[in-house]
């Protein structure tokens, strides 16, 4: 069985929504914002975080810290 890990450094987007934009995850779906509404606004720093994830998640110890895993 093979698997892939996702969302390690990219979790910083949720800190940005909560601490900077003051958007409560209980009041609004952050996933919907990421995938539709805010993709152009956050892309300038979200896309580099994806590249950081790609690098870090190749290292064995960081794979256990990933938030999502797909088999």
pLDDT tens, residue by residue, 47-70: 888 899 889 988 988 888 887 788
Give the pLDDT score at 17. Answer: 82
Is 25 buried (19+), middle (13-18) or exposed (0-12) by CB count in 10 A? exposed
Q: For the full predicted model, state whether its pTM sits above 0.85.
A: no
Q: Tell me which residue range forms the domain holding 29.
A: 4-70
> What's the whole-number mean pLDDT along residues 18-43?
76
Q: How many domains does the chain have?
A: 1
Q: How confident is the model at residue 7 (pLDDT cuts 50, 70, 90)?
A: confident
pLDDT digits (tens, 9 = 90+) for 13-28: 888 888 988 888 777 7
In eight-state DSSP terms, residue 8 is S
């Amino acid at each position: 069985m093979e698997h892939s890990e996702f969302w390690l450094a990219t979790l910083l987007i949720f800190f940005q929504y909560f601490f900077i934009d003051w958007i409560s995850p209980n009041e609004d779906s952050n996933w919907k914002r990421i995938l539709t509404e805010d993709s152009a606004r956050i892309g300038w720093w979200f896309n580099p975080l994806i590249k950081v994830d790609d690098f870090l998640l190749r290292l064995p110890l960081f794979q256990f810290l990933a938030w999502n895993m797909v088999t």
